[in-house]
């Protein structure tokens, strides 16, 4: 695809650069190429079959074009048959080979006084090639830290030096560093491998085979300790990755975020590691799993503090730190308006560079059309510049103290319901379409990390998505009530302080505004309908308790924001939600009854005749008019209906998965 896109532009450049004046360096190369060029240019239009030698730029670009053509054809043949009759030497295999002749043309034009021409289409093209390379998009590799531990554990057992998994963190670091500083290979082909271990090692071997510009970072999810990073560095070396990928730890859970600054400080104090990173480090912070682990309130505050600490550590060691925000589309997973989200980051954490994930379900909304794409990029750029030029205020010490106190209470309330309530998981599975969502192949990852297990093993996307579908959004607001109540009951002056924080501190304001937006999209009445239809009667009181909590949280939130009504400060959004509401509600009712029929095949449904006159009068039976999914494990039409309602509700509510 990359070769194809470049190919058409090279032809345009050949058309433009018809000059004969050029530098000696370029003339020698052009003459050489002209002598050795083959005369069988069958695949070109008549005009380009022969390039005369007195048009040196065209001769050089003609050779680039030929190589691009061969690169494209070789890729095509390799994809369809696994082999190709085009030799690798006739193609571009790395970006340097591609850039070199283009830079030669640029230098030559500048030396002959044609700089305005060099700075036109040719410079644009050079920038494009430098940015997108031959791979068009660099892929990040992502793997869980536990899987790397399994591999290293297998290696140490194979070497008969013990079980890596059981060593202390100090022992692990010491052994990894001694191996990284040494030269000997650790294992051969005879390493006993399970399927999981082979999978991890195969990934490293593919990284070693492919050109270096195909990949970006190697992200370690669920990272907790320095040894997690060093293990990946060692595996890259063992699998002969010539240009190792930068290793990016992803800190997700609350405890991991707290421990992250110390882990980074330890890494930076290792000479071998400092030499390896060359003054630059990237750290990813996870919004989804931290929210699932402790609730939105505590997660947001912990993420804020972790960033401040990480920046301090990086400054201390003179390392440029890039924060990589793993935020999702939903508020429960760190989503929200881009501009506000960036401006609410702690001072000095952006420094002109920032990485953000854009989740699958919001890509189209942000980048689906050219004008949307530009607007999204403008928002990112403007907010990043504004954050650097006019840093947001740092929180006052008394605000911090209050936030710390409230976060403890919020986490306690959240966990007491989600993790400690014995029948919570049962209620969640009954009251939401989580199980059915997991069965449908519409997510980018498996819905669970481990097939068995409760909330802990469930991925953050289905956890949030399921609550969003029932319009209850529990993971976003749960914990806020206890935090606000605690602060206000302790001292009524705290209410004034919370209002001051809302008005003066961008981070706090964004946190509250996003939850307010979620309440505007929520509807406990809809959640009650799901309960009545799908939940066993002895769990109804639990649902009612949660809905009471929802209402109390909403009124406390309005009190702190100083609003009489939800979305008082955003009438435009308020109106849009009001317009969408009747459509979404219809879809919710449809979904709830569809779930009832899926789960209870004996549930009796009275079929009504079609209302549409055309259908009533047509001779065709309904079966002919509707093409249903024949592979579904549910009764005809139920899976299609369920997917349509899910997509409809998600589109209506936006920022969902």
Contact call for residues 229 and 267 (beta carbons, < 8 A): yes
CB contact at 8 A, 250 and 222: yes
Element spanning 287, H or E: none
List C-alpha distances in Å: 383 to 75, 216, 305, 323, 606.
Answer: 40, 24, 20, 15, 55
CA angle, 167 as apex, 163 and 168 as ends, to 5°?
170
Q: Given the structure tokens 């009275």, which residue do they identify? A: 606
Reported as type and span, the H/E element at residue 656 is none
β-partners of residue 231 are: none
564 is catalytic: no
- State how far the Cα of 405 lies from the Cα of 413, in Å rounded to an integer: 13
- Return the DSSP state at 606: P
In 3D space, the residue among 470, 444, 474, 221 whose CA is nearest the CA of residue 332 turns out to be: 474
Residues in the chain: 657
Least Cα distance to 158 among 178, 203, 188, 182 occurs for 188
% helix, strand, coil for the chain, step of 5: 65, 5, 30
CB contact set of 10 (below 8 Å; sequence gap of 6+) = 61, 64, 65, 68, 125
Q: Active site residue: 172, 253, 292, 554, which one? A: 292
For residues 98 and 92, the answer to whether their CB atoms sit within 8 Å is: yes
**Helix, strand, or coil here: 48?**
helix
The edge-to-edge listing of strands for the beta sheet with 320-326 is 139-144, 215-221, 246-251, 280-286, 320-326, 355-356
And the tokens for 405?
Answer: 């106190």
Q: Which alpha helices (H) appear in 331-422, and where do they start and end?
A: 338-343, 360-367, 370-389, 397-418
CB 100 within 8 A of CB 86: no
What is the set of active-site residues? 292
């Amino acid at each position: 695809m990359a070769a194809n896109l470049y190919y058409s532009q090279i032809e345009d450049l050949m058309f433009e650069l018809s000059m004969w004046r050029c530098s000696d360096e370029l003339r020698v190369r052009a003459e050489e190429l002209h002598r050795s060029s083959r005369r069988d240019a069958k695949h070109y239009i008549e005009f380009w079959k022969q390039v005369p030698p007195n048009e040196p730029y065209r001769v050089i670009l003609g050779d680039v074009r030929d190589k691009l053509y061969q690169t494209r054809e070789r890729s095509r043949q390799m994809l369809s048959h696994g082999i190709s009759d085009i030799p690798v030497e006739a193609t571009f295999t790395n970006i340097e080979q591609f850039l070199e002749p283009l830079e030669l043309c640029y230098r030559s034009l500048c030396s002959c006084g044609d700089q305005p021409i060099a700075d036109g289409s040719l410079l644009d093209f050079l920038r494009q090639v430098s940015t997108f390379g031959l791979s068009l998009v660099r892929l990040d590799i992502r793997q869980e830290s536990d899987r790397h531990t399994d591999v290293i554990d297998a290696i140490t057992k194979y070497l008969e030096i013990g079980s890596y998994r059981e060593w202390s963190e100090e022992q692990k670091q010491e052994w990894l560093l001694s191996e990284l500083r040494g030269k000997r290979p650790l294992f051969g082909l005879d390493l006993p491998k399970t399927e999981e271990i082979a999978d991890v090692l195969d990934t490293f071997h593919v990284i070693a085979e492919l050109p270096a510009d195909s990949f970006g970072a190697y992200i370690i999810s669920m990272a907790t300790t320095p040894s997690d990073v060093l293990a990946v560095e060692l595996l890259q070396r063992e699998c002969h990755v010539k240009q190792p990928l930068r290793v990016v730890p992803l800190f997700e859970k609350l405890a991991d975020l707290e421990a992250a600054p110390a882990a980074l400080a330890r890494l930076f104090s290792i000479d071998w590691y400092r030499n390896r990173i060359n003054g630059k480090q990237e750290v990813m912070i996870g919004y989804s799993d931290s929210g699932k682990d402790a609730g939105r309130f505590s997660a947001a505050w912990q993420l804020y503090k972790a960033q401040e600490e990480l920046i301090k550590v990086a400054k201390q060691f003179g390392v440029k730190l890039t924060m990589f925000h793993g935020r999702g589309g939903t508020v429960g997973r760190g989503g929200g308006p881009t501009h506000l989200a960036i401006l609410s980051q702690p001072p000095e954490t952006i420094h002109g560079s920032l990485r953000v994930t854009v989740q699958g379900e919001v890509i189209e909304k942000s980048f689906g059309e050219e004008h949307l794409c530009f607007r999204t990029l403008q928002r990112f750029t403007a907010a990043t510049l504004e954050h650097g030029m006019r840093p947001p205020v740092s929180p006052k010490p008394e605000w911090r103290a209050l936030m710390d106190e409230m976060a403890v209470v919020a986490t306690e309330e959240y966990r007491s319901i989600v993790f400690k309530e014995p029948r919570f998981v049962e209620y969640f599975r009954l009251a939401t379409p989580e199980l059915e969502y997991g069965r449908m192949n519409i997510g980018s990852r498996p819905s669970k990390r481990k097939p068995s297990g409760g909330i802990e093993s469930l991925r953050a996307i289905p956890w949030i998505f399921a609550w969003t579908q029932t319009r209850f959004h529990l993971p976003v607001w749960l914990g806020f009530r206890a935090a606000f109540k605690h602060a206000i009951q302790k001292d009524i002056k705290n209410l004034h302080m919370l209002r001051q924080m809302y008005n003066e501190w961008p981070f706090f304001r964004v946190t509250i505004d996003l939850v307010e937006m979620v309440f505007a999209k929520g509807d406990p009445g809809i959640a009650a309908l799901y309960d009545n239809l799908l939940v066993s009667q002895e769990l109804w009181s639990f649902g009612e308790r949660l809905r009471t909590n929802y209402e109390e949280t909403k009124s406390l939130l309005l009190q702190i924001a100083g609003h009489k009504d939800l979305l008082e400060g955003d009438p435009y959004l308020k109106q849009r939600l009001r317009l969408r509401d009747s459509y979404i509600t219809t879809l919710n009712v449809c979904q709830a009854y569809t779930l009832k029929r899926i789960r209870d095949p004996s549930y009796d449904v009275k079929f009504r005749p079609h209302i549409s006159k055309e259908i009533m009068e047509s001779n065709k039976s309904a079966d002919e008019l509707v093409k249903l999914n024949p592979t579904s494990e549910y009764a005809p039409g139920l899976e299609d209906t369920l997917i349509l309602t899910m997509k409809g509700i998600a589109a209506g509510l936006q920022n969902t998965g």
